[in-house]
Structure 1
Amino acid sequence: MIDVPTLVEQARQGRPRAVARLISLVENASPHLREVMAALAPYTGRAYTVGLTGSPGVGKSTSTSALVTAYRKRGKRVGVLAVDPSSPFSGGALLGDRVRMQDHATDPEVYIRSMATRGHLGGLSWAAPQALRVLDAAGCEVILVETVGVGQSEVEIAAQADTTVVLLAPGMGDGIQAAKAGILEIGDVFVVNKADRDGADATVRELGHMLALGESRKPGDWRPPIVKTVAARSEGVDETVEALEKHRAWMEERGELAARRRRRAGDEVEAIAVAALRSRMGDLHGDRRLESLAERVAAGTLDPYAAADELVDGVTQA
């Protein structure tokens, strides 16, 4: 028997096992999920969510770990949601990020959770929005969301984060990839990591040129900064945090932060509603209504669009 109120209260006290249990309920689409979300709702909306994305090999996990250290120095409780590729055998996360973040494993003010994509495209797990709510309610003041690193399909993070950080590295052709992927449009802060390598300055120039070409900003609009870092040595990380805080302040001043969160909530509600409808539609296989409509479409007495409209009306009014 799952005692949801007790779990939520323990999570609010920052108990890692309770937080882990709640996120597992989210991932497994537990029958208790509605009760969990209802209990968490009054305690959410406080965390600042930062998404980190970029191609494989740019140092996302190392950068995430360095940012955790920087925020902890500022006294912040930090949550990390590291979305890993799914294991082809178990369906679980490969946990590569846990390996790279061992420095924070014993810090009670840091919670790190790896989540599997389970086949979901876009660089995130389908359960990520609800998992973010759990971390928010658990008192995490900053939540870092690290995406899979799958390349050009990985722009979904922009819809889930308050601020999106795009990581690049010299010598990897990232500038060209960024232009192709549409990543220039989703980045609020750009970080050229591994800046001690040859070609770092050229990567910064190329990125700056691309941003200038794509600009259609009005006076007062946010202009994404480009920060050089060597995350493995914690160089440039404080500058990255400063850029993030400036973006947050800019959004709060103009009401953009609240607007982004409303859009995010709307997307979340829509996704849940669509999933519920899809589930009800899935139960129609073998249903006489579907068979009857299929017979009429096959006979040419009804077109498939009209049949679909009739089916949807039947499902939503049932």
Structure 2
Amino acid sequence: MHELVRRILSGDKRAAARAITHIENDAPQKHEILRDLHPHTGNAYLVGLTGSPGAGKSSLTDRIITYLRKEKEMKVGVIAVDPTSPFTGGAILGDRVRMGTHALDPDVFIRSMGTRGSLGGLARTTQEALRVLDAWGCEVILIETVGVGQSELDIMNVADSTVVVLNPSAGDHIQTMKAGIMEIADLFVINKADLPGTDKTDREVSNMLDLMGHVPWRPPVTRTISRDNKGIPEFWEKVQEHEAYLRSSGVWEQRRHKRRQDEVLAIIEGQMTRRVKELMHGDASWSNKIAQVEQGAVDPYSVADEMIGKLLK
């Protein structure tokens, strides 16, 4: 067993942080760490929080952490994904600042991750980082996405419960509905519910849900005021109700089975892509093939088939 994994399983917070860094950087020991962690994962409940920028996801996450620590005495992890600059490659990892009150809590782990060009509102290595926190002993892991609208849909393939955070200001709720977020939500939270327009937002979301007709699980709509620490217990009660529904209906295992299948396919895709690039790097004729594609002498599909054929020999 890798030494970092031993330390993670013993509750070493620094070891967990170092393992995630190795994962983000594709270090040589990454696969060994993930293989050794795998038997110790699958225990944490994953809650995704998504929604438009400015909806108050980070402040709401901060209040949820406080509630889970004080009232439930749970070990909590947070993966907060921030957008990466396409020019500098850097990211403004501001969530650690906003959740700084928990920095010294030994049973809270907060990690900000840059998207590093990944679409879908999540970092490429989000799922792998979740495995580390799961093995570290987190009972609940909160996943806060970058908040970029339509590309938030990936969160539904990662979280057990997907929470869409709305606020009643400036038509934010209408834009979110247009982005297709309605279909991925397991729960809705109207944050900043002390602002004008809260009742209207609640009605509009409820009307949209009515159009869905009868469904086994109708996403509830709750209200919070994270600034004043209001509505958090009621919100978490709905999360627990959703977990109970998932387990009793069989949807829990269906979702986790699909997630495992998708993860294996994603790993295969990533490794195939890496090996094709290595093959191209060592193939002197590669530049000529691209030139032929540009000139219209050969189509890109034939070139791709040829490269895959070489890879599978």
Q: TM-score band, normalised by the shorter chain?
A: over 0.9
CA deviations 1:53-92 (Å, max 9, x no partner) are 0101110001101111111120110000011122567634
**2:265 matched to which residue of 1?**
270
Partner amino acid, structure 2, of 1:259: Q
Partner amino acid, structure 1, of 2:43: R
Which stretches in structure 1 are left out of the alignment for 5+ residues? Answer: none
Which stretches in structure 2 are left out of the alignment for 5+ residues? Answer: none
**1:314 matched to which residue of 2?**
310
**2:256 matched to which residue of 1?**
261
**1:134 matched to which residue of 2?**
132
TM, length-normalised to structure 2: 0.92
How far apart are the structure 2 equivalents of 1:126 and 1:300? 34
Indicate conservation of the 8 Å contact 1:78/1:111, yes or no: yes
Greater displacement, 251-260 / 5-14: 5-14
CA deviations 1:271-290 (Å, max 9, x no partner) are 22111111122231562565
* Structure 1 residue 6 corresponds to structure 2 residue 3: yes
- How many Å apart are 1:204 and its aligned residue? 0.5
Which of 220, 227, 230 is the matching residue for 2:225?
Answer: 230
Indicate conservation of the 8 Å contact 1:289/1:311, yes or no: no
How far apart are the structure 2 equivalents of 1:227 and 1:298? 55
**2:24 matched to which residue of 1?**
27
- How many Å apart are 1:93 and its aligned residue? 3.6
Partner amino acid, structure 2, of 1:109: D
Which of 107, 114, 117 is the matching residue for 1:116?
Answer: 114
Structure 1 pair 291/105, CA: closer, same or farther in 2 (3 Å)?
closer
SS of alignment partner, residue 91 of structure 1: coil
How far apart are the structure 2 equivalents of 1:91 and 1:235? 37
Q: What is the number of equivalent residue pairs in this alignment?
A: 311
SS of alignment partner, residue 15 of structure 2: helix
SS of alignment partner, residue 163 of structure 2: strand
**1:192 matched to which residue of 2?**
190
SS of alignment partner, residue 9 of structure 1: helix
**1:37 matched to which residue of 2?**
34
How far apart are the structure 2 equivalents of 1:305 and 1:23? 37
Greater displacement, 159-168 / 256-265: 256-265
Percent of residue pairs identical = 50
1:55-204 correspondence to structure 2 within 5 Å: 55-72=52-69, 73-86=71-84, 91-204=89-202
- How many Å apart are 1:297 and its aligned residue? 7.0
Structure 1 pair 296/10, CA: closer, same or farther in 2 (3 Å)?
closer
1:213-252 correspondence to structure 2 within 5 Å: 213=211, 215-218=212-215, 221-252=216-247
How far apart are the structure 2 equivalents of 1:78 and 1:299? 56
Partner amino acid, structure 2, of 1:38: R
* Structure 1 residue 16 corresponds to structure 2 residue 9: no
Structure 1 pair 143/305, CA: closer, same or farther in 2 (3 Å)?
same
How far apart are the structure 2 equivalents of 1:8 and 1:191? 37
Structure 1 pair 299/59, CA: closer, same or farther in 2 (3 Å)?
closer
- How many Å apart are 1:299 and its aligned residue? 9.5
How far apart are the structure 2 equivalents of 1:136 and 1:144? 11
- How many Å apart are 1:14 and its aligned residue? 2.0
Structure 1 pair 304/104, CA: closer, same or farther in 2 (3 Å)?
closer
- How many Å apart are 1:268 and its aligned residue? 1.7
Partner amino acid, structure 2, of 1:250: Y
CA deviations 1:277-308 (Å, max 9, x no partner) are 11122231562565786698789886553443
How far apart are the structure 1 equivalents of 2:79 and 2:19? 14
- What do you get for the CA RMSD once the two structures are aligned? 2.2
How far apart are the structure 1 equivalents of 2:226 and 2:142? 15
Structure 1 pair 69/297, CA: closer, same or farther in 2 (3 Å)?
closer
Which of 45, 49, 52 is the matching residue for 1:48?
Answer: 45
How far apart are the structure 1 equivalents of 2:294 and 2:3? 55
Indicate conservation of the 8 Å contact 2:52/2:176, yes or no: no
Indicate conservation of the 8 Å contact 1:169/1:200, yes or no: yes
SS of alignment partner, residue 167 of structure 1: strand
SS of alignment partner, residue 65 of structure 1: helix
Structure 1 pair 275/203, CA: closer, same or farther in 2 (3 Å)?
same
TM, length-normalised to structure 1: 0.91
How far apart are the structure 2 equivalents of 1:100 and 1:192? 20
How far apart are the structure 2 equivalents of 1:11 and 1:167? 32
